[in-house]
Amino acid sequence: MNGFAAVDFEFARQVLQRGIAALFVVAFISTLNQFRPLLGEHGLLPATELLAWAHSSKRGRRLLHPTLFRHVRYTDRRLVALCAAGIVVATALVIGIPQLGPPWVPMLCFLALWLGYMSITSLGQTFYGFGWEMLLLEAGFLAAFLGSHAQPPPTVVIVLFWWLVFRLEFGAGMIKIRGGREWRDLTALMYHHETQPMPGPLSRQAHLLPAWFHRGEVVGNHFAQLVVPWFLFAPLLGLWVPGPVPAIVGAVAAAIVIATQLWLIITGNFAWLNWITVVLASSAIGVPGIGAAPGPPASDPPWIIDGMPLYWVVVTGAVGVLYLVLSWQPLHNLFAHRQLMNASFNRWQLANAYGAFGTVTKQRIEIVVEGTMDEDPTGATWHEYGFKGKPGDLRRIPRQYAPYHLRLDWLMWFLPLGRSLDDWFTTFLVRLLEADAPTLRLLAHDPFDGRRPRWVRAVSYRYRFTTHAEFRETRTRWARDRRRPVMGPVSLRR
């Protein structure tokens, strides 16, 4: 580092800008495919009703986060146009086109992505109530101030990315230490691979590893989240300590965070949470000589300072001051007795609190949705609807979908954890009775090939991975038992 310029962090900037933009592409594609049946004009939780409520009261206007649709009437077509524009802008950033211009060009592009996607998440209700939504927004905001190829990365923005990773990782570690006993007695990962919201292709193999390995996983997790994040700031010492040691310490800390996230990527399906953590952790990797001219950056005070135009030093400095003000609450939250998880302290979702899996469920309860064409539900033959990601078919290998986010499948995992069924689930069953085509496209299998069932119902089972011996005998990856009725049978009135 060299004063205002993080001259050795050009590699980090390239990874951050292109990686964050790529995840915006994924987020907008996910929204394009799923928002309308979930939250559109005829969705399970119509965004138009939320907007009408927000416009009808001062409290509603205050609680609704910023969205373009507060000023422009929401329609499904406008949602599609917003997603298409977001995909185009984000793709241009992945390619690197805006970065060829002055720094304000990629700044405007990333701010457009930030505001555009915030306009969507503000209407997303429970289907967008995940920590990685605000994480992507905050990362997109910070990426706006990384600059372009014409000048070195600003030191203050690189440090703010370290602060983001610290809040993400250390916050998650503190949530776990304060959470369920399983994180303290080192048994959490004896359950997690089996009971996580959406297992991946290798989740069963990970679950069947020996107990000593799972205990080691927990110890490694605590080390990576509670100890390592402090060393992400080591490169700052390079401003005063000569030699490569501070940069090496920061790079090693980043590598440890990345390694733990790669393990989570291959053993689970956490949308883009782990992927964006990998991208963000790369901010601590300083590689001398990549994209930087030899020697210190040129200065021509007052207009050029450490290779950056004066106006850009002022803009990035203002962002640093803004974060200095906004960071008090999340900093206090990290050490608070009642730590908040995935919480925003301001309307713009900057300097947020993060964390996940403070407790780990010990058994997996799956709600299975069934339908029948028979008139009498009592002795009917029932057929299961198949979901894309959540377990159902006992023989099917769980598929890898992350970083793509299957929102309906994730919400189905949360249903058994609540005290009552969410309102959207009742509407979902109605849509199945209507054989609503957009809703059916969210599923992997419609047993009635687009025809309307006479009845639908929901039942629950306890699912567990089969042992090696059980798999050799039955060729199934899952076993299920403890069947219980949840809702129905229900039908439409005729």
How far is the C-alpha of 328 from the C-alpha of 397, rounded, in Å?
45
How far is the C-alpha of 172 from the C-alpha of 260, rounded, in Å?
13
Give the other-Cβ count within 10 Å of 451's Cβ: 11
Residues 189-209, mean pLDDT to the nearest whole number: 97
CB distance 110 to 16 below 8 Å = no
CB distance 460 to 416 below 8 Å = yes
The number of CA neighbours under 13 Å toward the Cβ of 41 is: 8
How far is the C-alpha of 242 from the C-alpha of 430, rounded, in Å?
67
CB distance 424 to 19 below 8 Å = no
Examine the pLDDT at 88 and tell me if it is beyond 70.
Answer: yes
How far is the C-alpha of 442 from the C-alpha of 452, rounded, in Å?
16
Cis peptide bond upstream of 489, omega within 30:
yes
Pair type for strands 304-305 and 386-387: unpaired
Q: What is the pLDDT of residues 388-422, one digit of tens each?
A: 999 999 999 999 999 999 999 999 999 999 867 78
How far is the C-alpha of 390 from the C-alpha of 371, rounded, in Å?
18
Give how far Cα 384 sits from Cα of 198, 203, 348, Å.
18, 23, 42
How far is the C-alpha of 392 from the C-alpha of 409, rounded, in Å?
11
pLDDT band at 58 (very low <50, low <70, confident <90, very high): confident
Q: What is the pLDDT of residues 105-153, one digit of tens each?
A: 999 999 999 999 999 999 999 999 999 999 999 999 999 999 999 999 9
How far is the C-alpha of 205 from the C-alpha of 398, rounded, in Å?
11
Q: Percent of the chain at pLDDT above 90?
A: 89
State the burial class of residue 82 (Cβ atoms within 10 Å of its Cβ: 0-12, 13-18, 19+): buried
Find where tokens 């916050």 sit: 171
Q: What is the pLDDT of residues 76-86, one digit of tens each?
A: 999 999 999 99
Closest CA to 360 of 212, 175, 192: 192
